[in-house]
């Protein structure tokens, strides 16, 4: 018998992750703030063992392994400690995995609350976007104890390509923030370079061709450059979430008394685009900064 998974957060990432758990045969209890999404998922996957939870507390109480993946720190605090919050429901001996990207400090606060309840906790944010989530090829960056990870692995492996155990609670979030910072800066730099060449009269495609055969070659060229060239930004990793992650990285830097000048500059660019966008674009839409000015 596979353990029952409680799954909270059916956003762009959570929905395909949850589908993969179901496909792998795990019984799943799902809860999402917007209830229609849970009902839709349950309807579409009626051939599997899927139930809709009443609230986060009840969902956690039914779970041997609870997984959450919600937008940001306030959303996670709401799910855990708000009305009928999940923390109250978590059973002694169960495992809780949070895959949202939040601050390492919040991960440690959750870790301490879980220890008090006799629950094993992992901070396990992911990278790979919606594409990786659909294929079950996400990369998990984990903080926590090895034994807890071993217990969680059968469920995680249905969604993962790689699972890295990076240190104690909070280490997963720390590495995730650093990694997203690189992605944010790479995509910002690419948008900046494209603005420069196109304004100077050279087609952007030519720059990309050259970059692909240079030392600057990187995954973002394959995934994000085509969006920038077409000026179309369907959200895979939404700009609003990258904006949140740069802010979290800057906060972390402040706590450790270091400055991140490039991150601070990129934050203002993403912030300007976030404020002027009326849709919910992918973070590659940082390129709009130069279209507007």
Q: So which residues are the catalytic ones? A: 176
Using CB atoms within 10 Å of the CB of residue 129, give its burial: 0 to 12 exposed, 13 to 18 middle, 19+ buried.
middle
| Phi/psi at 48 (5° precision) | -105, 175
By CB under 6 A, name the one of 37, 51, 108, 117 that touches ligand NA7: 37
| Phi/psi at 128 (5° precision) | 135, -10
Stretch binding ligand NA7 (CB under 6 A), from 12-20, 189-197, 213-221, 262-270: 12-20
Q: Which long-range contacts (CB under 8 A, 24 or more apart) does 209-217 make?
A: none
By CB under 6 A, name the one of 2, 3, 4, 12 that touches ligand NA7: 12
Q: Give me the least distance between CB of 246 and ligand NA7, in Å please.
A: 11
The DSSP element (H or E) to which 36 belongs, if any, is helix 35-44
Q: Which of residues 112-131 bind ligand NA7 (CB under 6 A)?
A: none
Using CB atoms within 10 Å of the CB of residue 42, give its burial: 0 to 12 exposed, 13 to 18 middle, 19+ buried.
middle
Using CB under 6 A as the binding rule, whether residue 11 contacts ligand NA7 is answered as yes
C-alpha torsion sign, points 195, 201, 205, 208: negative
Q: Are 17 and 39 in contact (CB under 8 A)?
A: no
- In the bound state with ligand NA7, the residue whose beta carbon lies nearer, of 37 and 108, is 37
Using CB under 6 A as the binding rule, whether residue 13 contacts ligand NA7 is answered as yes
Q: Give me the least distance between CB of 147 and ligand NA7, in Å please.
A: 25
Using CB under 6 A as the binding rule, whether residue 173 contacts ligand NA7 is answered as no
By CB under 6 A, name the one of 6, 7, 14, 120 that touches ligand NA7: 14
Using CB under 6 A as the binding rule, whether residue 9 contacts ligand NA7 is answered as yes
| Phi/psi at 62 (5° precision) | -85, -5
Using CB under 6 A as the binding rule, whether residue 241 contacts ligand NA7 is answered as yes
Rounded to whole angstroms, how far apart are CA atoms 141 and 162?
A: 9
Q: Give me the least distance between CB of 33 and ligand NA7, in Å please.
A: 3
Residue in the shown chain whose Cβ atom is closest to ligand NA7: 11
Binding mask 50-89 for ligand NA7 (x = CB under 6 A): -------------------xxxx--x--xx----------
Stretch binding ligand NA7 (CB under 6 A), from 4-12, 145-153, 191-199, 260-268: 4-12
Q: Is 238 helix (H, G, I), strand (E, B) or coil?
A: strand
Q: Give me the least distance between CB of 97 and ligand NA7, in Å please.
A: 12
The residues pairing with 164 across neighbouring beta strands, listed in sequence order, are 141
- Pull the structure tokens for residue 179: 């990694």
Residue of 9, 169, 186, 185 lying closest to 103 (CA atoms)? 169
Stretch binding ligand NA7 (CB under 6 A), from 28-36, 150-158, 160-168, 216-224: 28-36
Using CB under 6 A as the binding rule, whether residue 32 contacts ligand NA7 is answered as yes
Q: Are 248 and 103 in contact (CB under 8 A)?
A: yes
- In the bound state with ligand NA7, the residue whose beta carbon lies nearer, of 12 and 216, is 12
- Which residues of the chain form contacts with ligand NA7 (CB under 6 A)? 9-14, 32-34, 37, 69-72, 75, 78-79, 100-101, 241
């Amino acid at each position: 018998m596979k353990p029952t998974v409680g799954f909270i957060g059916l956003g762009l990432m959570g929905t395909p992750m949850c589908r993969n758990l179901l496909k792998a045969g795990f019984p799943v209890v799902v809860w999402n703030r917007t209830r229609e999404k849970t009902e839709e998922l349950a309807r579409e996957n009626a051939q599997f063992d899927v139930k809709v939870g009443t609230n986060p507390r009840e969902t956690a109480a039914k779970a041997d392994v609870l997984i959450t993946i919600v937008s940001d720190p306030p959303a996670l605090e709401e799910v855990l400690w708000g009305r009928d919050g999940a923390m109250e429901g978590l059973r002694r001996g169960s495992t809780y995995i949070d895959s949202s990207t939040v601050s390492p400090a919040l991960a440690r606060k959750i870790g301490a609350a879980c220890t008090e309840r006799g629950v094993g906790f992992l901070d396990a944010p992911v990278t790979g976007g919606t594409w990786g989530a659909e294929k079950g090829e996400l990369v998990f960056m984990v903080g926590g104890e090895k034994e807890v990870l071993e217990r969680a692995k059968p469920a995680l492996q249905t969604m993962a390509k790689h699972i890295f155990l990076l240190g104690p609670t909070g280490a997963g979030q720390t590495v995730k923030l650093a990694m997203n910072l690189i992605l944010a800066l790479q995509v910002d730099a690419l948008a900046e370079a494209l603005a420069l060449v196109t304004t100077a009269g050279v087609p952007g495609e030519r720059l990309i061709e050259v970059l692909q055969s240079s030392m600057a070659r990187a995954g973002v060229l394959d995934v994000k450059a085509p969006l920038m060239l077409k000026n179309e930004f369907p959200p895979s990793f939404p700009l609003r979430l990258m904006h949140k992650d740069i802010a979290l990285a800057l906060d972390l830097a402040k706590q450790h008394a270091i400055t991140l000048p490039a991150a601070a500059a990129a934050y203002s660019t993403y912030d300007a685009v976030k404020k002027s966008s009326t849709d919910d674009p992918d973070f590659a839409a940082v390129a709009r900064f130069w279209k507007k000015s």
